[in-house]
Amino acid sequence: RAKSNGAASYEIFDAAMGAQALLQLEKQTDVRRAVERREFVVFYQPKVELSSGALHGFEALVRWAHPERGIVSPGEFIPLAEESDLIVRIGRFVLEESCRQAKVWRDRYGAHAPAVGVNLSARQFRDPNLARIVGAALEETGLDPNALLLEVTESAMMDDAESSGARLRELKALGVRIAIDDFGTGYSSLAYLQHFPLDMLKIDRSFVTELGRDPKGTAIIEAVSSLGHLLEMQVLAEGVETTDQLARLRDLGCELGQGYYWSRPLPQEEAEELIAKSFGTANGG
């Protein structure tokens, strides 16, 4: 709020605020319209076993197929959608679409077909209807629950750690798997972490980027991956881009990776080609 500069500057400040609020509102309206027009699509990024290079699973990553702008990345609309119920609607679409796709792959390639990880934002994670929504998606698509991995960021989980435990157990009861995402960027309480029913720990890309640059970065990855294993989780490194990072991660005991080194997130047809290549031809259903 402008103080001593008088009425004129106060008005300018106020007008700027108004313009920004208006822009924000316009963007919200655009996203809402996109939801109604079903302009969102799901891309899939492979997760890979570091020892063998085998395809382990996919992470579903939403994109906005904008009629004029082309493919728009989630960084541009997820934070906006997160401010309202829009995120719940987008989230439900991604969940249903991913389950439907994972079911197709299961039917085609059997129980070893890649599982699919779906991101849940903080607001979705807090939604009291979440377990019902996930349960409905599984039921409607007929997907085996263990082929679905829900990715919840460390910060969303630790934000209200007290109620997160109950929420996670409610989800686990459906038979799905759960990953703690972007690990190392939030503030984990180890006391809680120990009691959360988690299946996978995803080490944030920022630590992987530091590998080989800073010896402390290496020590952190080694420590986090032992912590994950001690708590009986699979450990995945995010954002692997180089051969050197891959070699180091293997040495540090990480078993899974994801990153541009193998592949960017792929449109569904290209993800299918990748599965077909790694599984050979379909096993006849």
Which is nearer to ligand C2E, 105 or 259 (by Cβ)?
259
Q: Which of residues 159-178 bind Mg ion (CB under 5 A)?
A: none
Asked whether position 257 contacts ligand C2E by CB under 6 A, the answer is no
Comparing CA positions, the residue from 175, 230, 239 lying closest to residue 203 is 239
Asked whether position 75 contacts ligand C2E by CB under 6 A, the answer is yes
**How many CB atoms within 10 Å of residue 189?**
13
Which is nearer to Mg ion, 88 or 239 (by Cβ)?
239
Show the binding pattern over residues 98-127: x = contacts Mg ion (CB under 5 A), - = does not. ---------------------x--------
Asked whether position 241 contacts ligand C2E by CB under 6 A, the answer is yes
236-100-256 Cα angle (round to 5): 10
Asked whether position 127 contacts ligand C2E by CB under 6 A, the answer is no
Asked whether position 265 contacts ligand C2E by CB under 6 A, the answer is yes
CB of 129 to ligand C2E, least distance (A): 15
Q: Which of 48, 55, 62, 211 binds ligand C2E (CB under 6 A)?
A: 62
40-49 vs 55-66, strand pairing mode: antiparallel
Question: Which one of Mg ion, ligand C2E, none is in contact with 188 (Cβ closer than 5 to 8 A by kind)?
Answer: none
Asked whether position 78 contacts ligand C2E by CB under 6 A, the answer is yes
User: CA-CA distances (angstroms) from residue 145 to 79, 94, 151, 171, 261?
Assistant: 28, 16, 14, 10, 29
Q: What are residue 253's phi and psi, to 5 degrees?
A: 90, 15
115-120 vs 55-66, strand pairing mode: parallel
How far apart are alpha carbons 261 and 211 in whole angstroms? 15
Q: Which residues bind Mg ion (CB under 5 A)?
A: 119, 151, 181-182
